[in-house]
Amino acid sequence: SGVEQSPRVSQFHRDGFLVLEQFFSAEECDSMRSQIQGIVAEMEVPPHCRTEFSTREEEQLQAQGSSDYFLTSGDKIRFFFEKGVLDEKGNFLIPKEKSISKIGHALHAHDPVFKQITHSSKVQELGRKLGLERPVVVQSMYIFKVDDSLLAVTPHQDATFLHTEPLGRILGFWIALEDATQENGCLWFIPGSHTNGISRRMVRAASGASTCVEFVGSEPAYDDSQFIPLPINKGGLILIHGEVVHKSDLNSSGSSRHAFTFHVMEAKGTSWSKENWLQPTPELPFPSLYT
């Protein structure tokens, strides 16, 4: 398309990510935090739904894979817990607001505050600047990253979990609701790593398999020295290309690092993989980003 690219858009295409400080106001961040406090306060978790969230591959397969709760969370608001926060009866061993790893995956559709943020005019304007013609929202997550979180997020590419044909059609919007620092687990990226395709996919397993999802391919060993940290202030937005390699380290700060993130797909000329764990449903087809 003959659209004149701004320097920032060119930078995004070169690096695979873009940091936009002060994209959202402090008030907008606080409204998301207080909204999530209300959601957590009212949370009733049926014991059979208490799945622990883990980023290690085998545990991921075991815990998430055996869990319909995860697989059918695409059009609902559901809760995923840190390891070791529930006893075997499913009771909380620590305050529940500190026990949650993330809430997903349809806050953007079912909650008025998160819906308003996701479809805000500045997000839509950014989509247009990036040349997106038919962007749709595929998922959203509120990530708590609480102190002493056992959760480092190992190096990965989002397209491993959200696969499209062709590749290059997935874009993450990552919003810092508190300052993200190297101490509390900010994101790290390998600049330019979005140009080599993907090496691993998480797919729905054949029916009758012992797990619901499985990994095809393997994550290569990445060179730690290639990652650069992207600390960002409250209200900042990081745009994440679907194939860029990124990670976050443990939070050792003594405080939380809340973030709201959602993923958009350019639907024009794109097919969403039927093997992805997340599937649109009759109740929630992927909504258009542009309203």
pLDDT one-digit tens code per residue, 106-116: 999 999 999 99
Per-residue pLDDT, 44: 76
Query: Which residue in this structure is represented by tokens 């990226």?
Result: 189
- The gap from C-alpha 143 to its chain's centroid, in whole angstroms, comes to 8
Residue 273 tokens read as 């993989």
Per-residue pLDDT, 1: 46
Side-chain-side CA neighbours of residue 28 (13 Å):
19
Residue type, position 16, single letter: G
Task: Please check whether the domain covering 7-272 is classified as CATH 1.20.1250.20.
Answer: no
SS3 13: helix
pLDDT digits (tens, 9 = 90+) for 235-269: 999 999 999 999 999 898 988 899 999 999 999 99
pLDDT digits (tens, 9 = 90+) for 174-233: 999 999 999 999 999 999 999 999 999 999 988 777 778 899 999 899 999 999 999 999
pLDDT digits (tens, 9 = 90+) for 61-101: 545 444 677 888 999 999 888 777 877 667 788 888 888 88
pLDDT digits (tens, 9 = 90+) for 11-67: 999 999 999 999 999 999 999 999 999 999 998 765 554 555 556 665 555 454 446
Per-residue pLDDT, 142: 97
Mean pLDDT of the chain: 89
Q: Between the CA atoms of 253, 78, 27 and 247, what dihedral angle is there, to the nearest 10 degrees?
A: 40
Per-residue pLDDT, 85: 81
Rounded-to-integer distance, Cα 152 and Cα 155, Å: 9
Q: Where are the domains of the chain?
A: 7-272
Per-residue pLDDT, 65: 42
| Beta-strand relationship, 200-204 and 135-143 | unpaired
